[in-house]
Amino acid sequence: MIASLYHNQKATIRWNNANCEPFNIEKGVRQGCILSPHLFNLYTEQIMRQADIDDMGINIGGRDITNLRYADDTALLSDNLTSMKRILHRVNNAC
């Protein structure tokens, strides 16, 4: 059922009171769709788990915080450049 929502999606761009030819949307989630935030959260949670970065990040109150997520934004956190490079490498590989 979810796949059918995203099958054969098209978009167009309006510029100077004219629309371009419709083109296929191949990535991303539907803007305004009630499922989009949930699908995004499921996807990003899986990436963070696969990246296995829980022991990195910054320590706040005895807990290592590696990322903050809100809506469709993700911030990766580190207290030094070396750790940030490792986090970025692991997240990239998990994608």
Q: Where are the domains of the chain?
A: 2-94
- pLDDT (average), residues 61-71: 87
Tell me which DSSP letter residue 12 carries.
Answer: -
Q: Is residue 2 very low, low, confident or very high in pLDDT (cuts 50, 70, 90)?
A: confident
Contact 61, 49 (CB under 8 A): no
Q: Is the dihedral of CA 47, 43, 66, 31 positive or negative?
A: positive
What letter represents residue 76's amino acid? L
pLDDT the model gives residue 20:
92
Tell me which DSSP letter residue 21 carries.
Answer: P
pLDDT the model gives residue 29:
67
State pLDDT tens for residues 8-40: 888 888 989 999 999 988 777 677 777 878 888
Instruction: Tell which wins on pLDDT, 5 or 43.
Output: 43
- Two structure tokens written together for 24: 């296929």
The owner of tokens 């750790």 is: 83
- CA dist 80 and 12 (Å) reads 43
State pLDDT tens for residues 41-62: 888 889 888 888 877 889 999 9
Checking if the pLDDT of 69 tops 80, the result is yes
With CA atoms as reference, report the closest residue to 51 among 7, 87, 14. Answer: 87
